[in-house]
Structure 1
Amino acid sequence: MATPPQTRRPDELTLEVVDLIGSVVARYHEEYEEAASTHALTGAQAKLLSLLSLGPLPMRKLAHKLKCEPSNVTGIVDRLEARGLVERRPDPADRRVKLAAATPEGRRTARELREGLRFALEPLAGLGEEERLMLVGLLRRMLAA
């Protein structure tokens, strides 16, 4: 009788992959915090700005994506709005809902944050295009599972 998947122990290779992913995530967060500080932003402000650079979002959805309370998001948006990086606007589908949206300056700052990550400039740039495409495919498969 086969062991149920939830009780089967991972093999050593799987554990090494998990450890390496953890190291990559830690490095990403560390470098993202550094990049944020060069723009006088907190990590939370930078993450919110990055999300909004992809398109406007309601405050509640931002809170869900950032895994925090809506009142926290309101404060972050207030500070970014005061700096001209974010604006609030009514949702065309429901005017009772406010959307937060990155301004052109906010989108530029978010792009500079991504481009300023040493991680993207050094180890990833050292991989060939075929290797990066393979990595993208593997990561997408992992996230889809």
Structure 2
Amino acid sequence: MTEAPRTKAPVAVDTDRLMEQLSMSWGVYLGDFTLAAASENLTASQAKALNALRRGPAAMRALAETMTCDASNITGIIDRLEKRELVRREADASDRRVKNVILTAEGERVADAIRARMHSTQNGLDGLSAEDREALSLLLERVFGCRPTC
């Protein structure tokens, strides 16, 4: 008589453990991201702004909210990115008082270069099967409500 293959019983994982794993994962990702940004002579905040703008143009206030930073901080970040011609500001067509920030072609190239240099993150994700990638994407969407747009 042949024995049926044993399936591994699910292990109960508490919220504290998951939060610790998320914290550790975020630390690896952020370290990877910060090093990749530095390779392009950018701070993590500047690179984060470029990443946010990959989704499309954004008003300065909206960008500050997305990046969870003060409006005065976003002004300095965008000033430095604009000086390097990675972004440009344009007056909003419907409200000239509002300035929209737009990623330039060079800004898009730099954002792509940063992502390409995130070797620890890339290697970890590349090790996942297609099914695992789909499951991870769905779980991240359920937990954080985020849907990738790029």
2:71 and 2:18 map into 1 onto residues whose CA distance is 35
Q: What percent identity do the matched residue pairs reach?
A: 39
2:144 and 2:137 map into 1 onto residues whose CA distance is 11
Aligned length: 135
The CA RMSD measured in Å over matched residues stands at: 1.6
Question: Which ranges of structure 1 fall in alignment gaps of 5 or more residues?
Answer: 1-10
Could you tell me which residue of structure 1 aligns to residue 3 of structure 2? none
Query: What pairs with 1:28-39 in structure 2 (closer than 5 Å)?
Result: 28-39=29-40
TM-score, length-scaled by structure 1: 0.86
**4+ residue stretches of structure 1 with deviation over 4 A?**
none
Question: Which ranges of structure 2 fall in alignment gaps of 5 or more residues?
Answer: 1-11, 146-150
2:129 and 2:13 map into 1 onto residues whose CA distance is 27
Could you tell me which residue of structure 2 aligns to residue 20 of structure 1? 21
Could you tell me which residue of structure 2 aligns to residue 68 of structure 1? 69
Which structure has the larger Rg over C-alpha atoms?
2
Secondary structure of the structure 1 residue equivalent to 2:97:
strand
Check whether the contact 2:29–2:121 (CA below 8 A) recurs between aligned residues. no
Secondary structure of the structure 1 residue equivalent to 2:124:
coil
Query: In structure 2, what residue type is equivalent to 1:28?
Result: Y
Could you tell me which residue of structure 1 aligns to residue 78 of structure 2? 77
TM-score, length-scaled by structure 2: 0.84
Deviations 1:15-55, CA, capped at 9 Å, x for gaps = 22221111111111111100000000001100011111221
